[in-house]
Amino acid sequence: EQFQKSSQQQQHDVKAPPSTKDKPKPNIEKKPKEKKKDATHKKKTSATTPTTSSSTSSSSSAPPKAPNAPAIIPPSQPQITNDLTYASGRPITVVHVAEKPSIGNAIAHGLCSSGSTSQSYGKSLPIHEFTSSQSFPKAPRASCVTHKVTSVAGHVFNVDFPTEFQSWDTVDPAELFAAPVVKKPCKGSVVKHLQGVAKGADFLVLWMDCDREGENINFEVLECCLHLLRGDDKYDRVYRAHFSAINPSDIQKAYAALGKPDRNQSYSVDARQELDLKVGVAFSRFQTRYFQGRYGDLDSAVLSYGPCQTPTLGFCVARHLEMETFRPEPYWTLDLGIMNCGTMVRATWDFGRSFNKNKVDALLAKCREADPPGAFVEVAGVTTKDKKQGRPVPLNTVALLKACSKALGIGPHAALSVAERLYLSGYLSYPRTESTRYPASFDIGGTLRDQMQDRRWGGYVGELLRGGANVAKGGVDMGDHPPITPCRHARAGELSGDMARVYDLVTRHFIASVSQDAMWRSTTVNLSIDLLGEKGKFTIRGKQLVTPGFLAIMMHKQYGDEGDDNGQLRDDEEEEEKDLPEFKQGDKYGMFFSASKKSDKVSITPASGKYCTLTTKEKMTTPPTYLTESELISRMEKHGIGTDASISTHIENVLKRNYVELLMPGRKLKPSRLGLVLARGYHMIDDSLVLPQVRSDIEGQCNRIAKGLADRDEVVKKAIELFSSKFNYFVDNINKMDVLFSSSFAKLQDVGKPFTRCGLTRRYLQFITGPPPRLYNKTTETVYPLPIGGEIKQWTGRHCPLEGCNFELCLYSVGAPPRTFPLCPNCFNNPRPEFGPQPGEDPSSASPGDEEDEAKERSLRRMAGKNMVRECPHPDKHPLIEEMTVSPDPESDGVLMLDPHLGPKWRLVSTREPTIVHLPKSVEKVTILDKKDEILGCRMMSIEFKDGQSPIEGKNKYVSCFAADEVMQGLVRVHHGDERLKASSGGRGRGGRGGRGRGGGRGRGGGR
């Protein structure tokens, strides 16, 4: 409500568009090599104003082009001109850019005619080049058309904070709300690739996925290469292809109907990214530092907050609290059994239930004690009618995720990933869609005919086509993509695993959606015990399947709707499929009771075979169960948390953060101890942080931006002001949440065991196993994160030789068989640049100008306990490693050093590769000398052999420079081990202390 009010107030207060210079604009950090771009390419994303805005009284147009700016990206607008005479009589080059290499390959296949010769070059982002005899629709008079088809790999830029706001230690999280945001290339090589392909081209056709995220990538591509197109009016020769499948026919349809990219949809993504970055990082940094510095047994390395992630957790916690506060109560009901034609049928008491046992017993006693001829049951009426069970509406993303979870046991994140793989392989249409109605242009008959050859449902499809397929009823066409359908036939056995199961589900659902409705014959028998008046009404229901219709191809019960929010089924779904014996109105059934009140058996069986029994039954009210994934998806969709494309990511995030655990069977979500404490803490301080309303309002404003009805900068400004005030209130009242943490988790000073001594205070540091593993100084309350991926052991009595450090050392073992290295906790957390790059950091991978950022990112991941270290944790030039180095490693960029375990099994280990050099078993002792080889710079080692076992004749003591000593090299045994787990470079991640967005790839709302 606060957000809505501020947005409404904005419409009254703002009379004219704010000045461009007063707007906060996300900058784009360019690498030094890219500074030669023209002035227009340096233009900031927010420098243009949308065509229409809810915050302005009049629409504004794009700013005029500067005299020397050949390429300006205007706001969302139709093509200014349509000069079909462009390049008349001369050849042209058309560059096509797809979102993924696999889609680029499909586009090239779909556009390249059979008589054309194509060539492909490039590895990670291949370029497919061919000349087509088919004219280009936007330049039909060109003499020849050369096509170059390539791709990006998701987003070209990441939204992040500048370097000066990256530190968790020196930057107050409250400052992040007012901090600028910048766009950094995900990979500099992608930017260079795009510029190289687009240079001198005549036309640029964008083939990104047809959703908001795809539109945002469109404009990222334009930022890179629009200025490199040939001639003037460059944007007028930029087009956008709209497609939902990647088979050749759909590619050709999209090619023949090219449109323009939508700037407003891109703006909505920019707004969401900036809000998610600032809000998520500010809250995550503060609560992580606060609580990890106080408690030692937390179940997560980072206590992350996300505007979508946290309400998702809130839904799970709300159901858990319902279960915790539920108190079962006994209730009683009358149970009536009717024996008719040898079949006992149970009737339902219309009154329902009573929580007063005496009242129900009194009703039973009244029937038992009735005067002759006693109590009886009369058939008051019999109703039989046919009911249709409507075929399912076409399948959208949310319905697919729910179906996969309920029917197949596949989680939402995995289900969407499988569906995307099927889409990229050409089996399914685009799986991210909100539509549940087939557009008028959709070829239902052609799609069905593709499935006629399948032995599983081909016969059914043939019958359906002969009788005429039905247009799916209900549903909404959202105009983004058609519903999810099969695009080509997959023979039995062609797909395997989850891909086969998801394809089967989608195909059956599609066929069912255009099939006949199912027909049921429903019978309702109304019974009455006149002696009990209104409380003597009972009902028997049954139904039989008359015409199976779509049920012959799809089992509706497998993944039907949940019903209402409490999981209750509708009345017609409670009807049991069963044949009822014949009942006629006016039939009477005598009521018989057993001699013993404790027995339900009748003592006399009438000759007619028609009688009834009446008893009381005691039952207990049952609590709700934990939310299933399917139920959680329904709640998220209802309250506007996330989009169809990001819902699965938010559920995956709360599982990864250990806020929720998955219970099997049934795929139910149970909040963890940490998740409960966080959600309850948010409720105690400011329940809007965990309730869905604020986020839903923001999503609504982003939708307005996408439609051109709201100004991006004004929406972001109001939302940031709102969350900034909430953050300050949260910080001021954090003690309320701390009370919950103190009752659920152990404080740092009470956790762990004395491990090593601090070089500053000489006090023991407590070893906390984590996650993340770390050492804690009780005196200074300093935390020293340790590397993960290996085993940490004590190494008593040895200290770091670095001047001013003097920390007691540990041992760090990795790999199989293990390689062991010395570890200084202080030097690991405070590396010095003069010793070289940190382990796992490839300085050559950082483009010029980015070296500082890359080093900082690694430092921040280390602080968050997210760095997987499967090698020596220190640089090779660190004194601790240098004093034990005996040779360069010929198979890597590392060195060979003496294993600090020393004897009795002496060996050398590589600092960077899983290589172990075993010295002869006859070695008694090895000493590393101060003397170094003058050429190689490696230390000499003194080797003493056991008496009488020296392999070198006449020498029990031998001094060697191993790198140049062929004698010793001939005596050793080299073993190449296995690192098992490779260190993952990963994305910077919302959870990591790098502080930017949410993981790699497209970033479709992940972690919001």
d(CA 647, CA 453): 36
Q: Report the run of H or E that residue 348 belongs to, with start and end.
A: strand 343-349
d(CA 520, CA 385): 8
| Pairing between β-strand 611-620 and β-strand 588-591 as defined by DSSP bridges | parallel
Single out the residue of 48, 760, 682 nearest to residue 314, CA to CA: 682
Confirm whether 430 is a catalytic residue: yes
Catalytic residue (one of 430, 589, 611, 776)? 430
Do residues 840 and 869 touch, judged by C-beta distance below 8 A? yes
Residues 6+ apart with CB under 8 A from 176: 161, 165, 278, 281, 282, 285, 995
CB-based burial label for 500 (10 Å; 0-12, 13-18, 19+): middle
- Where do the H-state alpha helices sit in 405-543? 412-424, 444-449, 458-467, 497-513
Strands, E assignment, 18-156 = 27-28, 91-98, 118-121, 127-132, 144-151
CB-based burial label for 776 (10 Å; 0-12, 13-18, 19+): buried
Residue 548, preceding peptide bond in cis (omega within 30° of 0):
no
Residue 139 exposure: Cα atoms within 13 Å on the Cβ side: 22
CA dist list (Å): 861 to 205, 637, 864: 38, 33, 5
Residue 137, preceding peptide bond in cis (omega within 30° of 0):
no
User: Residue written as tokens 């986020």?
Assistant: 695
Do residues 524 and 383 touch, judged by C-beta distance below 8 A? yes
d(CA 412, CA 337): 44
Bin 223: left if φ > 0, else alpha if -120 < ψ < 50, else beta.
alpha
d(CA 817, CA 394): 55
CB-based burial, 625-654: b 16+ in 10 Å, e otherwise: ebbbbbbbbbbbbebbbbbbbbbbbbbbbb
Compute how many other C-beta atoms are within 10 angstroms of the C-beta atom of residue 35.
9
Bridge partners of 538, per DSSP, are 349, 527
DSSP conformation class of 404: I
CB-based burial, 215-229: b 16+ in 10 Å, e otherwise: bbbbbbbbbbbbbbb
One-letter amino acid of 587: D
Residue 481 exposure: Cα atoms within 13 Å on the Cβ side: 26
d(CA 737, CA 678): 7
Three-state secondary-structure class, residue 613: strand
Do residues 210 and 190 touch, judged by C-beta distance below 8 A? no
d(CA 170, CA 168): 6
d(CA 489, CA 454): 8
Q: End-to-end alpha-carbon separation of the chain, Å?
A: 20
d(CA 289, CA 169): 9
One-letter amino acid of 576: E
d(CA 105, CA 149): 8
| Pairing between β-strand 203-207 and β-strand 238-240 as defined by DSSP bridges | parallel
- Where do the H-state alpha helices sit in 946-1005? 966-969
Whole-angstrom Cα Rg for the chain: 36
Catalytic residue numbers, as ranges = 430
